[in-house]
Amino acid sequence: MSMPDIQAILFDFDDTLINYSSSEEYGLREAFQKFGIPLRSEYLDIYREENKKLWKMIETGDISTAELRIQRFEKLLDRLGFETGVTASRLSESYLEFFAQAGDLEEGAREILQWIHEHKELKKAIITNGFTDTQHKRIGVTQLGDFFDEIFISDEMGAKKPDPLIFEKALGILEIDSPEKVLIVGDNLVSDIMGGKRYGLLTCWYNPTEKDPEEYRQYIDFQISHLSELSEVLNQK
**What is the tens place of the pLDDT at every residue in 188-227?**
999 999 999 999 999 999 999 999 999 999 999 999 999 9
Q: Is the pLDDT of residue 70 over 90?
A: yes
Domain boundary among 52, 78, 99: 99
Q: Is the pLDDT of residue 1 over 80?
A: no
Q: Kindly state whether residues 44 and 13 are assigned to the same domain.
A: no
Predicted confidence at residue 162, as pLDDT, reads 96
pLDDT tens digit sequence for 123-161: 999 999 999 999 999 999 999 999 999 999 999 999 999
Give φ, ψ of 126 to 5 degrees: -95, 135
Burial of 2 (0-12, 13-18, 19+ CB in 10 A): exposed
Predicted confidence at residue 39, as pLDDT, reads 87
Q: Are 93 and 128 in contact (CB under 8 A)?
A: no
Q: Kindly state whether residues 117 and 84 are assigned to the same domain.
A: no
Q: Kindly state whether residues 91 and 123 are assigned to the same domain.
A: no
pLDDT band at 81 (very low <50, low <70, confident <90, very high): confident
Q: What is the span of the domain harbouring residue 160?
A: 8-19+105-235
The CA-atom distances, in angstroms, between 194 and each of 56, 164, 200 are: 14, 10, 10
Q: Kindly state whether residues 149 and 159 are assigned to the same domain.
A: yes
Domain boundary among 35, 65, 99: 99
Q: Kindly state whether residues 91 and 111 are assigned to the same domain.
A: no
Q: Kindly state whether residues 154 and 119 are assigned to the same domain.
A: yes
Domain boundary among 52, 70, 99: 99
Q: Are 222 and 205 in contact (CB under 8 A)?
A: yes
List residues with catalytic annotation. 12, 14
Predicted confidence at residue 141, as pLDDT, reads 97
